[in-house]
């Protein structure tokens, strides 16, 4: 079996480049064969990309998250356009809306989100979408502006009814370690209504550690715990589900299965 961690903040686990590389190697030893590294800011992207340049099983997304709306960086659009020419860049992200933390104002967040959706369409890349207490606005914007390559609602946090509406769009749904929490009934109900070919999993490390590892800093190597929990929920064989998740992830990011 092999797993694909579709969303890991490796730069937030450790600052040290060697420790970051160790994290990716430990993941590989745990059958997490591919990882997409996520950074909230372009400044952090440059550092982490350089640190992990030799890790060929680590892919990267580049973008400006809503947390950076007040300071996206000088010439940030041009920086993204230049960065996507680098090897192993597979998506624009994470981008989206966050009304919980109230980063800047809603108008500024929406403008940042829309600009990057348009940029993803221009660059022919999928998008990784952050949504926190902004579901209605996210969905309305995506109905008009989701790029042709589609997107993933990462660390899915809405309910099954929202998912059924979002299924009309070219969207995938990614579940993190919080799926394994007893009180995550909205997530448990959601996975039951989703087609198997639209589901991904992620570590969201260093956050959302699976229940099995509660009290520890989350790592990509813990991803199989989420996969096993999901297989039990769906009453599927672990290996069969792992194969489906692997194929889904590669299809979304435009990567070969081999």
Q: For the segment 51-109, what is each residue's pLDDT rounded down to a tens digit?
A: 999 999 999 999 999 999 999 999 999 999 999 999 999 999 999 999 998 888 999 99
Cα–Cα dist 56/249, whole Å: 17
Whether residue 204 contacts residue 7, with contact meaning beta carbons closer than 8 Å, is answered with yes
Q: For the segment 225-247, what is each residue's pLDDT rounded down to a tens digit?
A: 999 999 999 999 999 999 999 99
pLDDT of residue 219: 98
Q: pLDDT averaged over the chain?
A: 97
Helices in 155-237 by DSSP H: which ranges? 160-166, 185-193, 223-233
What are the tokens at 27? Answer: 């993941």
Binding positions for a divalent metal cation are 7, 9, 94, 130, 154
* pLDDT at 125 > cutoff 90: yes
Q: For the segment 177-186, what is each residue's pLDDT rounded down to a tens digit?
A: 999 999 999 9
- Catalogue all structural domains in the chain, each as residue range(s) with its CATH number: 3-253 (3.20.20.140)
pLDDT of residue 103: 87
Phi, psi for residue 53 in degrees, rounded to 5: -60, -30
* pLDDT at 258 > cutoff 80: no
Q: Is 255 exposed, middle or buried (0-12, 13-18, 19+ CB in 10 A)?
A: middle
Produce one character per residue of 192-205: b if its CB has 16 or more CB atoms within 10 Å, e if not. Answer: eebeeebbbbbbbb
Whether residue 58 contacts residue 24, with contact meaning beta carbons closer than 8 Å, is answered with yes
Residue 138 to residues 38, 87, 158, 209: CA-CA distances in angstroms?
A: 20, 30, 12, 26
Average pLDDT over residues 169-194: 97
* pLDDT at 162 > cutoff 80: yes
pLDDT above 90 covers a percentage of the chain that reads 97
pLDDT of residue 104: 87
Q: For the segment 4-27, what is each residue's pLDDT rounded down to a tens digit?
A: 999 999 999 999 999 999 999 999
User: pTM (2 decimals)?
Assistant: 0.97
Binding positions are 7, 9, 94, 130, 154
Q: For residue 144, how far is the Cα from the chain centroid? A: 21
Residue entry with tokens 């899915």: 156
């Amino acid at each position: 079996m092999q797993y694909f961690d579709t969303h890991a903040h490796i730069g937030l686990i450790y600052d040290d480049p060697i420790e970051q590389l160790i994290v990716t190697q430990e993941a590989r030893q745990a059958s997490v064969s591919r990882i997409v590294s996520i950074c909230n800011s372009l400044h952090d992207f440059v550092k982490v990309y350089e640190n992990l340049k030799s890790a060929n099983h680590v892919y990267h997304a580049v973008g400006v998250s809503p947390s950076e709306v007040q300071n996206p960086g000088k010439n940030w659009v041009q920086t993204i356009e230049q960065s996507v020419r680098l090897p192993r860049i597979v998506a624009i992200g994470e981008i989206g809306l966050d009304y919980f933390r109230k980063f800047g104002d809603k108008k500024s967040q929406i403008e940042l989100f829309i600009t990057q959706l348009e940029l993803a369409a221009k660059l022919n890349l999928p998008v990784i979408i952050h949504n926190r207490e902004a579901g209605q606005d996210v969905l309305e914007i995506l109905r008009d502006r989701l790029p042709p390559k589609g997107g993933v609602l990462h660390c899915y946090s809405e309910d099954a009814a929202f998912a059924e509406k979002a299924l009309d769009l070219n969207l995938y749904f990614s579940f993190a370690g919080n799926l394994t929490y007893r009180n995550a009934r909205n997530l448990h109900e959601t996975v039951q209504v989703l087609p198997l070919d639209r589901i991904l999993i992620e570590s969201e490390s260093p956050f959302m550690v699976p229940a099995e590892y509660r009290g520890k800093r989350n790592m990509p190597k813990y991803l199989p715990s989420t996969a096993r929990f999901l297989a039990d929920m769906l009453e599927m064989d672990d290996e069969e589900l792992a194969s489906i998740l692997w194929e889904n992830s590669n299809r979304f990011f435009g990567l070969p299965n081999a």
